[in-house]
Structure 1
Amino acid sequence: MTRERRHGVTVTTVIFIHRKRTTPALYSFKMVQIACATDVEEGLYDAIVVVSDGIISLTKLDKLCPDLRGSIEAFSKIDHSLDKGKVSLIPTDKFHARRIVYASTGTVHKDFDDVRRYTKAGTAAAEASLSAGVRSPLLVVVPSERFPNAALMAALGFLHALYIPLNVVQCDKPVPKVDLLGILEVDGTEYAAHRVPLPLVYLLQALQRSFDVTRDIGDGDPQRMCPAKVVEYVKGNFENSSVRVSIIDDVEQIRRDYPLMSAVSRCANAIEEHKARLIWLEYDGGDETETLYLVGKGVTFDSGGVDLKVGGAMHGMSRDKYGSAVVAGFFRALDELKPKGIKVVGCMCMCRNSIGSNAYTCDEIITSRSGQRVHVHNTDAEGRMAMADVLTEARERALKAKNPHLFTIATLTGHLVLTYGHCSAAMDNGPARAAHYAEQLQHTGDEFGQPVEVSRLFSEDFDFHSAKCEAADLMQANTEPSARTRRGHMGPAAFLMRVSGVDKSGSDSARPLKYTHMDIGVSMGEFPKTSFPAPLLALIAQHVLPKIG
């Protein structure tokens, strides 16, 4: 553990071995300070924020702070609704803070309750605290036997409300919403999944920085996060880091090597900052036992192209870059947590689906990187076009890699939203299904409050994308919106496999390759509210946390 002065604040760096501390360990978040506290009476806090599934559970805190339960129980005799999923402000003279913000999760014991109860309670507690003028809250999460990650999820929910949008930061130079956020150590407050003890505050630091990157890019407006600005942001964010960044922005190179993406970007090329960019990221943890290839859809604004979105359907399409935002956030987590034995290669496919005289149109037949001729039927199916050639290149690289696994991550279809609502969906090819990858990710997502549904692919999904004419090999899409198409979120996965050649790397091939397509829909939350990055946390928990230490 080392200490140094930064901007007048004592900052303590904590290694993976957890130690009790007599002074807070402060970490600088994006405009937020977070501290690990061991006592509710440290005198630094102006409110004690308690998240619990019920007053009866407060007995778990008796050894640490016995007066806390008494204050809340006394108030419950006045307000009988205290435990019904609400937030209450309780005055007290038992503590220096003089007020308790009590956030009830509501029921957590029914069959279909999950750990997101704690996330929502944490966010509600933060909003109530800010409304009450709290500047230095101390967060106390009562442990849950059913949900080991309750403290982590409540803290992430609390921090969610403290996020300040990028444009506000850049234009208004706001003060932080709080001066200090304390996390009380309850039973050590360590994240210990996969048998890796990790101080909660350390993990929160890494996750929050990862979330900030994802939100900045994913929530950013179409101009502030146009392709050129995303490049600028990513290069700045990963400067002097363990992540190597390389950019492809030459129009001719993109036309030659990524012809399907080039078609989508053709109209946008008239404006320099809207031109397509490919942002390649690479992290190498050394002695890798697995290699991940993450391809993210990064459409900074989707007008639908010539198949124009109408009737207000264009609203919110600046979030069509969220797949790439998740890729960037994943690499931020890699740099923060430094997992060993894993290599990750990512590509953010940044482009804009504009409409104009040079826009790509239906009826065009375009030869892809893999040499297959693609018949365009719907210009609003641009996401698969933006990722297809990059997936082809990722497959080319993966054939030479150690234990590779290919991914595409995209806000791809309305069909997914109608089918699964707030959940992401994972679709495995044969080798990935044999490894039960999607089911494992689903289980991890449940543990960390990011539900992932498993969708399966069938031969009909592949047949659907066979060309209907001799001039082409593949049909890019049909002419209907995905929401009016049977199996509308499974077909795009099959198309991506066929156009990239991944279907040639199945279980029966000489070199099987695992591939998982993730359609993330609106799993990050409804526009224009601040997003909660999904399935980012599930992916970090699945691939990064087990390799720390």
Structure 2
Amino acid sequence: MVVLQFFQVSSDALTSSNVDWDALIIISQNPLAVPFESVRTALLQQAAIDKRIGQQVVLSLCPSVPGQRLITAPVQIDDEYGDVSVYAEVAQQAISQAQASGAKRPLMWVEHNPQPQFVQALEVAAFGCAQQLWLPLEAREAGHHAAIESLGLLDVSAETALQLTALEAGKSLTRDLCGTEPERMAPYAFADYCVKSLAGTDVQVEVIDDIDTLLSDYPLMCAVGRASLSVERHQPRVVQLEYRPVGEVRHTLLIAGKGVIFDTGGASIKVGGGMSGMSRDKGGAAAVAGFMKTIGLLQPAGVRVVAQLGLVRNSIGSDAYVPDEIIASHAGVRVRIGNTDAEGRLVLADLLSHLRLAAKDAVQPQLFSVATLTSHAGRAYGRHFATVPNSVAQPVLAANFTAVARVAGEPAMLSPLAHEDFSVISDTSLAADVLSSMHLGSSMVTRGHQLATAFIVTASGLAKHGANAKQPLPFMHLDIAGAAIEGDPRYGKPTAVPLQTFWHYLQQLI
């Protein structure tokens, strides 16, 4: 795994004689007002003959900076509706210019923006660079590598540079797991990649691969993977991850990640080219694994984190599960299958049932699920992910988490549950307790991603831990279907959403 390294660099390094760095990127609302006098003088001279300076991302010759390469990247901010992600977009353009020019170790300066919504501008810009430079695992294994592997950050603390590198290590792991094709990252390979990537951190890893155990303890997930059981490399896995801090535990996060290695739609087969890109349906599990990598490196105090990743292939075959089947979940809830292409919610229900039991004895537990779950969320919110809380999480947790996401450059939309979401999915025949889904795809159903969350709450047993229960448990589902991939949803780069949000939310808890 290749990780872009961030380094603390003093502004004293801005001399042409510095051979450690070979370019300077300026990201500012007004690059012509940069506080470095020699750079400002050069820019003003260039602006007199090149009207693009301060208006577009431009590479120019500047003898006073390392490598004589100067990239100016103006930030255009919409004061009413803009968010910090504009810094990532500008940084991606700038780092592309730097790499194309032959730079290998550029410096970057990001102007401080005092507005609260832009407090993480430097971090967002740095990760924009990393996102642009990342190459797929298959490309790296074929011998391709980004020319830039280090980025110097001017006037930041050493602690900030270290934290950003650890966050990027988690994001890089997420991209590798999510973005790699389904045979190279089959369930066993995904699990192995997690084990190897988390070795040497403070995260304990256990892989459950015994088929009898999986069939008994994860019945819904194994129904999804039933047609894959005859192919050894496609057989399901559950990866259990746990981080325990040194000292007192004051909060516990319990997170389920959907890792559908490939989603054919099962018996409700995807048609019209709909299968293309479905190797990215493991983005939720990938993001959770990446988050565990980051906290294993940074070792935050006071917060215990437990995660389960459900790795399964929704295959087509003579033993595939089909609509109308009734299958009991791990929590003992009888589930009638409505559409086998609504498989992710089945995986999450079993994982969360186990985490629900673990939460009963945990200190200040909060439960989450993360998944590229419904096309409905993607169509409703685009690049924003949906935060769907239960009644316990609704008053405070959901609002805080959603606000953190926006500041972190991973904007989210709060999408509360309603009474009708649970009414719609009830099985009125009494043959089952709950419908897994409507017979149509989620994007064709009113409140598609809320219905999916209502099912997860019900089938996992969390419905018995609502606001008025003896032991209320706060839970929030994160539907990242529209946010997990940048650009082309089939072959674009994974974003690692919502890893940054989780980290900054965790920092609030400490």
TM-score, structure 2 normalization: 0.95
Counterpart contact for 2:323–2:337, Cα < 8 Å: yes
CA positional deviation for 1:179: 5.3
Q: Does 1:169 align with 2:169?
A: no
1:300–1:318 contact (8 Å) kept in structure 2: yes
SS at match of 1:50: strand
1:127 to 80, 96, 113: 96
Partners of 2:466 and 2:66 lie apart in 1 by: 64
SS of 2:394's partner is helix
Aligned to 2:133, what secondary structure does the other structure show?
Answer: coil
Q: Using the alignment, how far apart are the partners of 1:250 and 1:119 within structure 2?
A: 43
Query: 1:405-451, CA deviations, whole angstroms, 9 ceiling, x for partnerless residues?
Result: 111111111111111111111111111113x1111112111211110
- Secondary structure of the residue aligned to 2:439 is coil
Q: 2:112 aligns with which of 143, 146, 151?
A: 143
SS at match of 1:161: helix
Q: How many residues align?
A: 500
Deviations 1:323-345 (A, max 9, x none): 00111011011111111111111
Seen in structure 2, the aligned counterparts of structure 1 residues 159 and 488 have a Cα distance that, compared at 3 Å, is same
Q: Distance in 2 between matches of 1:200 and 1:489?
A: 36
Residue equivalent to 2:495: 532
Shift of 1:93: 2.2
Mapping of 1:331-410 within 5 angstroms?
331-410=292-371
2:89 matches 1:115: no
Which moves more between the two structures, 392-401 or 35-44?
35-44
Aligned residue identity for 2:120: N
Question: What is residue 70 of structure 1 aligned with on the other side?
Answer: 41
What residue in structure 1 maps to residue 151 of structure 2? Answer: 181
Rounded Cα–Cα distance in structure 2 between residues aligned with 1:268 and 1:360: 11
Matches of 1:176 and 1:128, distance apart in 2 = 13
Q: Does the 8 Å contact 1:334/1:544 carry over to 2?
A: no
| Counterpart position of 1:55 | 31
Q: Is the 8 A contact 1:293 1:404 kept in 2?
A: yes
**CA distance in 2: counterparts of 1:292 and 1:521, whole angstroms:** 22
For 1:93, give the aligned amino acid: P
Tell me, in whole angstroms, the C-alpha distance in 2 between the residues paired with 1:120 and 1:546.
30
2:419 to 425, 435, 459: 459
Deviations 1:256-298 (A, max 9, x none): 1111111001101111111000000000114111111100100
How many angstroms does 1:240 deviate by?
2.8
Partners of 2:14 and 2:64 within 8 A in 1: no
**CA gap 1:473/1:171 in 2 versus in 1, 3 angstroms:** same
* 3-state SS in 2 of match to 1:344: strand
Tell me if the contact between 1:468 and 1:475 (Cα under 8 Å) persists in the aligned partners: no
Deviations 1:350-371 (A, max 9, x none): 0000101111111111111122
Deviation at 1:487, TM superposition (A): 0.6
1:130-189 CA distance string (max 9 Å, x none):
1122122111222222222222111111122221211122232x444225422211xxx2
User: Which residue matches 1:486?
Assistant: 446
Cα deviation for residue 82 of structure 1 reads: 2.6
Q: How far has the Cα of 1:219 moved from its partner? A: 0.9
Rounded Cα–Cα distance in structure 1 between residues aligned with 2:45 and 2:74:
16
SS in 2 for 1:450: coil
Q: 2-side partners of 1:500 and 1:43: how far apart?
A: 58
Mapped to 2, the partners of 1:51 and 1:278 lie a distance apart of 43
Aligned counterparts, 1:186-225, within 5 A: 189-190=156-157, 199-225=159-185
Residue 75 of structure 1 and its aligned partner are, at CA, apart by 1.4
Q: Secondary structure at the match of 2:429?
A: coil
Contact 2:225 2:313 in 1 (8 A): yes
Contact residue 57 and residue 142 of structure 1 kept, 8 A: no
Question: Contact 1:370 / 1:392 at 8 angstroms: preserved in 2?
Answer: yes
Aligned partner of 1:40 in structure 2 is 14
- Distance in structure 2 (CA, Å) of the matches to 1:165 and 1:498: 38
Amino acid of the residue matched to residue 178 of structure 1?
A: I
Tell me how far apart the structure 1 counterparts of residues 251 and 149 of structure 2 sit (CA, whole Å): 41
* Equivalent of 2:397 in 431, 437, 456: 437
Provide Cα deviations, 1:26-63, integer angstroms capped at 9, x if missing partner. xxx926444322121233222111111113542xx2xx
| Residue of structure 2 equivalent to 1:30 | 2
- Cα distance, 1:402 vs. partner? 1.1
Shift of 1:394: 0.9
TM-aligned CA distance change 1:168 to 1:545, over 3 Å: farther
Contact (CA 8 Å) 2:323, 2:340: kept in 1 or not? yes
Distance 1:375 1:352, change over 3 A: same
Answer whether contact 2:201 2:293 (CA < 8 A) is retained.
Answer: no
Conserved in 2, the CA contact under 8 Å of 1:297 and 1:411? Answer: yes
Distance 2:26 2:276 in 1: 38
Give the superposition deviation at 1:94: 2.5
Within the candidate set 197, 206, 212, 1:237 is matched to: 197
Give the gaps of 5 or more residues in structure 2: none
**Is 1:513 aligned to 2:482, yes or no?**
no
- Of structures 1 and 2, the one with the larger relative CO (CA 8 A, separation 6+) is 2
The one of 248, 251, 254 equivalent to 1:287 is 248
Cα distance in structure 2, aligned partners of 1:288 and 1:348: 23
Identify if the C-alpha distance between structure 1 residues 444 and 179 changes in structure 2 by more than 3 Å, giving closer, same or farther: closer
Residues of 2 paired with 1:179 and 1:263: CA distance? 43
Which residue of 1 is the match for residue 461 of structure 2? 501
Change beyond 3 A, Cα 1:79–1:222: same
Give CA-to-partner distance per residue, 1:495-539, whole Å, 9 cap, x none. 111111111111111111111111111213233121221111111
Equivalence for 1:90:
60
Aligned 8 A contact 2:334 2:433 in 1: yes
Partners of 2:248 and 2:14 lie apart in 1 by 44
